[in-house]
Amino acid sequence: MIIKNGLVFTENGFESKELYIKDGIFSTETSANQSQITEEILDATGLYVIPGLTDIHFHGCMGQDFSNGSLEAIEAIAKYQASQGITTICPATVTLPADQISQICEVAADYANQHGSILCGINLEGPFLSAKKKGAQNEAFLQRADLDKFQAWQKSAKGLVKLISIAPEFPENMAFIREVKDSVTVSLGHSNADYETAMKAFEAGASHVTHLFNGMSPLAHRNPGVPGAAYDCQHAMVELIGDGVHIHPAMIRTAFSIYGADRIVLISDSLEATGMSDGTYQLGGQEVTVKGNLATLGDGTIAGSVTNLMDCVRYLVKEVGIPLETAIKCAAVNPAKSIGIYDKYGSLDVGKVANFVLLDKDLNLKGVYICGKKQTQKNKK
Ligand SMILES: [Zn+2]
């Protein structure tokens, strides 16, 4: 396939150039041209060509939660995400009993990736978190870090666990960071850690922050907390929920000027209600009420979003004033880097899997391709 006449995303901005795909992989002009007689030409005149997005932190959509632990749930999730231009996914669990997490990991490892978005990781959000900043996590199943349990989950997942959230203010959890840092990305989150403790956690090997500003010690002038430590630890990536509910737009702009576009990972943190109408849904056994863009527990706690990652990109560009190329970088390039899959995904470079999306000037979807194959779109939720 040759993609012609499009405005192509690169890390230096958009460029007018052609892209070549051979056997589902971006290739050089010469190798694609060898079979030119049958070459399919995709005319992208007037369209942006961007890498498919990667959501590394979301829980579900279309009435299905990843934590249901069923193939049916993963299939529905993968299909919906693909229809929206999110072509690689690393869905998140919630705080649950250990055997239930094992079961979810097992099912995800068995998932064959035949249709829709490519499942390329599992994000364990819980149970090694702090009750003080539990947010919508179920306190009944919170516990201190346990290496044996983590290793059992990773075994069930056949190594698919790519990210784990940790509250580092407990000695067991701090020790755990040192033990697992080489096998999984360790993220500080749902944590009340002060600046000094968070700095120690980064020194111990944490390199990521779970939904920055949400579920953590705040950035205060004498107590800079996890956000301040994340700034001082220059290698740490920080997740931002871009749904227009979790973070004030001024705080998103502030985050971009503090942390810079290289370190921000846009996430949706979306729940099973995403893509569905208002009503009552579930999150880790707790009831969540959805009205418009807001999803809350009975006590009013915000419980994740109902916005997919492509809509988060649109929100950042249209409502927050973030340049399109920056928003794409934070929703495609950085998430792939943060979970170690950038060698295969996250850009339109030669040698990468040909996952890409066509957007018009108003950021409407005009085509989603996974491994070079066109997916069925769904334009409105
Ligand atoms: Zn969370």
Question: Rounded to the nearest whole angstrom, what is the distance from the C-alpha of residue 165 to the centroid of ligand 1?
Answer: 9
Query: CATH for 52-345?
Result: 3.20.20.140
How many C-beta atoms lie closer than 10 Å to residue 11's C-beta?
A: 12
The whole-chain average pLDDT of the chain stands at: 95
pLDDT reading at 275 higher than 70: yes
Enumerate the CATH 3.20.20.140 domain ranges in the chain, comma separated: 52-345
pTM of model > 0.75: yes
Question: Rounded to the nearest whole angstrom, what is the distance from the C-alpha of residue 32 to the centroid of ligand 1?
Answer: 44
Q: How far apart are CA 42 and CA 65, in angstroms?
A: 35
pLDDT band at 306 (very low <50, low <70, confident <90, very high): very high
For the stretch 66-104, pLDDT in tens is 999 999 999 999 999 999 999 999 999 999 999 999 999
Asked if 281 contacts 316 with a C-beta cutoff of 8 angstroms, the reply is: no
Residue among 269, 299, 343, 349 flagged as catalytic:
269
Instruction: Check residues 371 and 11 and name the one with the higher pLDDT.
Output: 371
pLDDT at 283: 80
- Give the C-alpha distances (Å, rounded to integers) separating 127 from 19, 70, 95, 362: 44, 20, 4, 41
Question: Rounded to the nearest whole angstrom, what is the distance from the C-alpha of residue 135 to the centroid of ligand 1?
Answer: 7
Question: Rounded to the nearest whole angstrom, what is the distance from the C-alpha of residue 132 to the centroid of ligand 1?
Answer: 13
pLDDT reading at 303 higher than 90: no
For the stretch 179-222, pLDDT in tens is 999 999 999 999 999 999 999 999 999 999 999 999 999 999 99
Concatenated DSSP letters of 313-340 = HHHIIIII---HHHHHIIIIIHHHHHTT
311 is catalytic: no
Question: Rounded to the nearest whole angstrom, what is the distance from the C-alpha of residue 372 to the centroid of ligand 1?
Answer: 33
Average pLDDT over residues 52-70: 96
pLDDT band at 304 (very low <50, low <70, confident <90, very high): confident
Question: Rounded to the nearest whole angstrom, what is the distance from the C-alpha of residue 346 to the centroid of ligand 1?
Answer: 24
